Amino acid sequence: MTAAAVELTPRRRTWSSFRRNPLGVASGLLLLLLALVAICAPLIAPFPEGYGADTSQPPSSAHWFGTDDIGQDVFAQVVWGTRVSMAVGVSASVLAIVIGLLIGVCAAYFRRLDTPLGVLVDLSLSLPVLPLMILVAALAGPSVRTLAVVIALFSWPEVARVVRSQALAIVPMPFVSAAKVVGGSSLWIVRKHLLPGVVPVVGVSVVLTTSRAVLSEAGLSFLGLGDPNSWSWGTILHKAQQSGALASAWWTTLFPSLAILLLVLSTTLLSVAYNDARNHRSDT
Interface positions with other proteins (CB under 8 A): 49-51, 55-56, 69-71, 138-139, 141-142, 224-225, 228-229, 239, 241-249
Nearby residues of 170 by Cβ (< 8 Å), 6 or more positions away: 108, 176, 193, 194, 197, 198
Length of the chain: 284
Shortest distance (Å) from residue 70 CB to other proteins = 5
Q: How far is the CB of 137 from other proteins (least distance, A)?
A: 8
Q: Are 69 and 243 in contact (CB under 8 A)?
A: yes
d(CA 263, CA 179): 42
- Rounded Cα distance between 280 and 284, Å, is 7
Nearer to other proteins, 48 or 100 (CB): 48
Q: How far apart are CA 148 and CA 36, in angstroms?
A: 21
Report helix, strand or coil for 73.
Answer: strand
SS3 content of the chain, % helix, strand, coil (to 5): 75, 0, 25
Taking the complex as a whole, how short is the minimal distance between the CB of residue 180 and other proteins, in angstroms? 52
CB of 269 to other proteins, least distance (A): 33
Residue with Cβ nearer other proteins (1 or 247): 247
Q: How far is the CB of 222 from other proteins (least distance, A)?
A: 12
Nearer to other proteins, 117 or 148 (CB): 148
Dihedral of the CA atoms 135, 137, 138, 142 (nearest 10)?
Answer: -170
What is the per-residue burial (b if ≥16 Cβ within 10 Å, else e) of 23-43? ebeebbebbeebeebbeebee
Task: Report, in Å, the least distance between residue 215 CB and other proteins.
Answer: 20
Q: Measured from the CB atom, is 21 or 85 closer to other proteins?
A: 85
Classify residue 48 by burial, with Cβ atoms within 10 Å: 0-12, 13-18, 19+.
buried
* Residue 275 CB-density burial (10 A; 0-12 exposed, 13-18 middle, 19+ buried): middle
Cβ atoms within 10 Å, residue 254: 15
Name the residue nearer to other proteins (CB basis): 55 or 275. Answer: 55
Smallest separation, CB 225 to other proteins (Å): 7
Q: Which is nearer to other proteins, 8 or 247 (CB)?
A: 247
Measured from the CB atom, is 69 or 114 closer to other proteins? Answer: 69
